[in-house]
Amino acid sequence: MAYEARNFEHLLGIEGLSDKLLKNHFTLYQGYVTNTNKLIDELGKLEKEGKAGTPEYAELRRRFGWEWNGMRLHEYYFGKMTRGGKEIDKNTNLYRKIVKDFGSYENWEKDFKATGMMRGIGWAVLYYDITAGRLLNVWINEHDGGHLSGASPILIMDVFEHAFMIDYGTKRADYIEAFFKAIDWTIDPELDSALFGGK
């Protein structure tokens, strides 16, 4: 079954991110979906031809993580934004967990923004380490490297240049502020309880 690009056009008109920027970003995301499907097909073809041990197969297999993560990270990123944003509910277990792990929501926000301001291209991610029961802000340099094995992404911020240059040039901090105004902190009550209720 092929992956299908999700439609995020409901984000058009979002404050702080122009429609031109978003449409370009959606096109980039759709490219990751297309390339993920192409790689799945090509790898399957090579396997059927008995070429799984070839350098060609190996290089395509290595490339798969880049394309698939590029697809999925963009889905998480766009999926946690909404026009006007939705503030975090201070009665959720997620909010209480942020306060417990970072000392305050403000401390977490300052640290997450600092992570996003690091020089280079990549992603800032709020991860939940289910095993240790703690939240961590993490920098991912490339789509396919730097992820925390077994941890669940809670919030993803794209800080590759394509996410902000059209609107903000090199003013990444202004883009980060616009992103924060668009975050949708809505969390399903069952997920909130299952992930953060007992920790």
Output the pLDDT for position 71: 97
Output the pLDDT for position 34: 98
The binding site consists of 25, 74, 158, 162
Output the pLDDT for position 180: 98
For the chain, the distance separating the N- and C-terminal CA atoms, rounded to the nearest angstrom, is 37
Contact yes or no for 15/181 (Cβ under 8 A)? yes
CATH label of the domain that carries residue 42: 1.10.287
The binding site for Mn(2+) consists of 25, 74, 158, 162
Of 30, 53, 79, the last residue of a domain is 79
153 occurs within a structural domain:
yes
3 occurs within a structural domain:
no
pLDDT average per 10 residues of sequence, the chain (199 residues): 95 97 98 98 96 96 95 97 97 96 98 97 95 96 87 96 97 98 94 78
CB atoms within 10 A of CB 6: 15
Output the pLDDT for position 199: 52
- Are 105 and 188 contained in the same domain? yes
Q: CA 75 to CA 29: how far, in whole Å? A: 8
Output the pLDDT for position 98: 97
- Are 106 and 168 contained in the same domain? yes
The residue segments making up the domain with residue 33 are 18-79
Computed from CA positions of residues 71, 73, 74, 75, in that sequence, does the dihedral angle turn out positive or negative? positive
pTM above 0.85, yes or no: yes
